Structure 1
């Protein structure tokens, strides 16, 4: 499919995002009045409310707003423009046209899916920076850069965006990509409002770089994933950044909104039905549409980052659940249908996994143990930064949460914290080496063990490592590993789970010396503050997968854990974990798939 056809296809998709009404003027821009802004204007200009009421001309001037901007607005725009490039769209058969793109991180470029829809297009296409006129109105020397799709290529057809890796040196070997700036993407909502103005830096029709700054008004912010605005663009503008007055990117331009007749047919400038043979210039355009930056960042951090985890070094996930709802048009309850947890895919996987059991919902301990052991085909070594933090332990909002305190962390935060712990351990080991005191093998091993226990990772083993002498595959088994700040990790120590009748989590502490935000400790026993059902199901997995390895929990404690599991139903977070862990190490936690098994199984056998 050629570029223009893909562009028209995107236009057709925009029609599905609103209900056509006969005779509706879709081009009308409504004036949005914010009383607080009017109040601020009056205060700034030393005007009284009575003057606003009595002077109609003053009222119209105030409502229209103050179009003046600081003079540095122009200089900031020039800096922002450096990251914008013209994309030469090629496939194996040759030239297909042009698009616009821009850098959003070092060597990461974004454009539309209909500009670079496949790996093949990225292989044959290239980016041209500096294709613009200088202050003397003469063309500047431009630089061509190839894409490296083997390093990174990700595309989302629904959101109509593609990100691709750009080589750091130009095709002639004389230019470097870091000569051109990149535009940081702010994932938060609220960067613009209806009635506010936007600017677009673009390569319309593939021509020299232009900027549209006049009469560019936001017309619709009610759509999830997309925003609409009035401005001048052409087909070559696809993939251009749409800026607010602070030169923050609010969306990636991707399509125009044409005028339709009552039958839903696109109209031309003469008011007649348009067809492709007339070309884009004859379409009666009403407004334009861009893809929200917040939606793009959400997709990059929850989907693309699974394949390219280094994206999390540059893009901060959306963490506010209400922002996710507004930006993506989904409720948190509906996240099961999203990529966080592919429900239909996981159900099929479950059916295959338990297909050799006669009745999985009433399986015996021996049947489950045989299945878990047989399917445990990969045994990753204990490395939470590599296997746990990046994806497995993420919650629906893209954050990590401490299993005991529910404290939020970003992936990068815990990875860096664990790296610091590694450095501290190494420094302590160097001090140990400096001590020329002779140590026997057992004493040396004990000293090294103390280094690790004194400075634990931000990862909790639900079944404490000391109980199984840190042996693999138990130590690296992801089913009982959870993100947990090192202070909570140390607070729990290696104490078994217990329930204290007088302890009520999140209420008045029983004893400040014994309790933290993580839970309650007494007599070398520990009750978590949060997520008791989650840790209970992890314990039961371990008991069945590794029978006889630990002898900590007696029948009374088993009943406590069963009650915890019953009181906290299986969460979406656990389903996500179970699915992702099965992809890494092969086996599943049957007590997440069939929680009713817990009550029927004798874990003391």
Structure 2
């Protein structure tokens, strides 16, 4: 028998869990009240940390740019008559409906929601414990082909689990008549791990029951430790066996009001959850393990019953006077399990939780994405791939390659299984659509989803006011309201640097087709203009061109991985650099990417990104800006003039100067420490370009649009007069 207990030694039981939950809930009262005020005044997108909201949007194939575009379309807070977006009916896929639902604009959803809930419910069973001392019920759910997850206070020990079974189909059928329960023996000898503090138990279940039914027929609910499954303000769903009763559903009745490091709090005006139940988002991903009501307490902190007397476990959960619910975050359950030292079959069963399923879910179940190993780590980048290892590198997709060890019959000259490739979106979105296999179709689906989102954003902006001066001035004044009006020199520079960093959130990744072309970089005539040549393009032209380039890049990465199975991460990164150079986007970083090693958030910072055709992008290269004598009389390329000493653009000198000055303020010390980077002695060039070309409506629009997406603003656009007051000397290394 293998038994692992990763717990503190303090005794905990359900009553103790209730008392601890009540204390955690009480301690967070000020933060929770502030959250509720934000939800009421601004909505769900602003009640949580910007980074977590960004990851939640990514899982819905959305981003802040698209969310803000939708937010600008007038509507009542909730509509029951369909979407208020003026789009063709076939534009409303599950992702868009899910985004509207998340934002509180539409309480309708596709019928696939019901189908997903039915499939999820199949994997949830009633845990029945029958010991000589008595019995009790709880809820549990399969999280791998062999393992069930429930609460520690439902199954406290291997001995108790040895007296337990899990019963599936304890529910009414569509005709209202009870279904015949299907019972499986719980097998703690196969695997048993528990954690009293996090109140979870993972235990093996017999593969077949006495009638020969297979456990895998009920599928399982994969656990995903990544952020973005749910955010504060979102409603969640619970499927459960309350008090051992037939399976029931609490549908969107619980609203998340707080996310702690290990726990999540959600409130409802109906019933508390049942111990061991899965807590789902609207995409039927498991967000948390429900483990406790948050009870009303007396002056001594003791949980109260509905009649006002101290509650005792023998009364049952239904007699608890409660005010909220508490669940254990799935990511923390996985972390605790990953830290266990296991060997043999126990290690294999535990590792199933962290691997893509190798057996089918119930028919029609959604595909699941590959996950890293239990420690969340990959091999060192300098080491070649060897059988049984994986290496991950983030590109527009995260490509995870696992090399299968050869089977005995495959050993010998020329016999090797080769790499197994699975693609998962780098920002947490799931690119593969139902029914598609990995490989080129995954690439096509990933690119198609980005393309669809970018074109949707473009369509939503067609009726939007290009620039609202009064609203932007009010936003500008509020942004700098706490700045010292008399600040000057280095103190002014430091204050602006601190403000730009503090308010830079969320921090979008580099996706110009989604973040830049549809709205941010449009000119008043709703066209894009190359920042250096002035050539015009429609936004759709560049969106589609970048999508084609991205698809070619990803196919190139796949081909490289299939061809070079022993390549190191460094070799893969070099290949990606070559692909990006040969298949460029139509976007210019006015501060070249090589100056900051393509790192985020610099790479995706919209303030220094501009539309630019590849010819001009390549012509400029990574040369610093220069003001050439006799520029007006010189023979120049359409993009400008370039010599060994630098590059002078044909157009947009004022705009690129202000964007570069923003970058120097936002990221002091990052450029100028190597040859070919912008030297301090050329600062007067930027200041002169800034003063010679006044801020345009185009730049005002860009600044306002970028502030909506990533939070911060460009001070040189808002207050051009500050340029000569700022001491920029402190921004160079």
- Per the normalisation by structure 1, the TM-score is 0.49
